[in-house]
């Protein structure tokens, strides 16, 4: 669904249209960051993500949603078929910038909504800490599981 947006930029009000995948998550924030334009997210995963966001009752900052095979090979040891690479129905994974008590609360709530893959990056500066969640399951990615980075 497209929604109208208005924002202030150097005193100018700029109107635009934003493609939303769910109430709170836009296509732009889930899109591959390499510039290829790939934004295919699994709709079932997106409704889980939206439900998690509503239970958390706070905005969730996505640091990574879709990654095309090329991008994933550049940034992850999981190569061209990692959890962020779109499957048949799109990508069913995302990384969420979150730390401390909120990070633990996110894991509790995500599990309640059926998330079966959890990756934990909770070292170093709080602003860069994140939790990976996914609902994928295939021969290469058996679930449930948990890992750290
Ligand atoms: Zn890409």
User: Which domains does the chain carry?
Assistant: 40-148 (3.30.1380.10)
pLDDT of residue 17: 80
Per-residue confidence band for 16, with pLDDT thresholds at 50, 70 and 90:
confident
Which sign, positive or negative, has the C-alpha torsion 51, 56, 60, 65? negative
The pLDDT value recorded for residue 109 is 98
How many angstroms is it from 70 CA to the middle of ligand 1?
6
Sheet holding 145-148, edge to edge: 61-64, 93-97, 130-134, 117-121, 145-148
Q: Cα of 128 to ligand 1 centre, how many Å? A: 21
Q: How far is the CA of 94 from the centre of ligand 1 (A)?
A: 15
In the reported structure, the alpha carbon of residue 71 is separated from the centroid of ligand 1 by a whole-number distance in angstroms of 5
Measured in angstroms, how far is the CA atom of residue 80 from the centroid of ligand 1? 11
């Amino acid at each position: 669904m497209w929604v109208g947006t208005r924002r202030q930029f150097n005193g100018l009000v700029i109107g635009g249209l934003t493609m939303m995948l769910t109430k709170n998550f836009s296509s732009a924030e889930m899109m591959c960051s390499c510039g290829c334009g790939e934004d295919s997210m699994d709709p079932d995963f997106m409704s889980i993500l939206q439900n998690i966001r509503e239970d958390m009752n706070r905005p969730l900052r996505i640091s990574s949603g879709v990654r095309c095979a090329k991008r994933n090979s550049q940034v992850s040891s999981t190569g061209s078929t990692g959890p962020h690479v779109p499957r048949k129905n799109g990508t069913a994974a995302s990384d969420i910038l979150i730390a401390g008590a909120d990070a633990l609360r996110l894991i509790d709530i995500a599990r309640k909504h059926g998330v079966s893959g959890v990756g934990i990056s909770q070292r170093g500066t709080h602003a860069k800490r994140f939790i990976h969640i996914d609902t994928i399951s295939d021969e290469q990615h058996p679930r449930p599981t948990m890992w750290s980075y």
